[in-house]
Amino acid sequence: QVGDYPDYPYVSNQSRDPYEKYDDQQLRRNYNDPLHEDDDMLNMWSPDIHDFVSDGQAFKSILYFFATVGVGSYICTYFMPEKPAAPRVYPNGLFKELGGSE
């Protein structure tokens, strides 16, 4: 709260009726409408409101996604063929001389 500024409800402009006539159609505001203290977080340029998915459903969706990626990765590594060539062998310690570590 800032001084004696009124405490307006925390309602985003995105939840206002889009078919109503406003003085500023883009921001859904009328002239002399009072601004909320946190108007920068409630106007049309703020992050979108997603109230059609519950937190539990969103968590389950993310969990399903990571489980699918994990199972798919495991299947790919399980069925991945081995390298078609043998590892290169260097004679007389040349491997260490070229910067390799054993």
Calculated CA dihedral for residues 54, 11, 38, 48, nearest 10 degrees? 50
In the chain, what are the helix, strand and coil shares in percent, each to the nearest 5?
Answer: 35, 0, 65
User: At 59, phi and psi to the nearest 5?
Assistant: -65, -40
Tell me the pTM: 0.48
- Provide the pLDDT for residue 102: 63
By percentage, how much of the chain surpasses pLDDT 70? 91
Give tens-digit pLDDT for 66-97: 999 999 999 998 888 887 787 777 676 677 77
CA dihedral for 18, 21, 24, 30, sign (positive or negative): negative
Q: Dig out the tokens for 98 from the structure.
A: 């070229």
Give tens-digit pLDDT for 26-72: 888 999 988 888 888 888 888 888 778 888 999 999 999 999 999 99
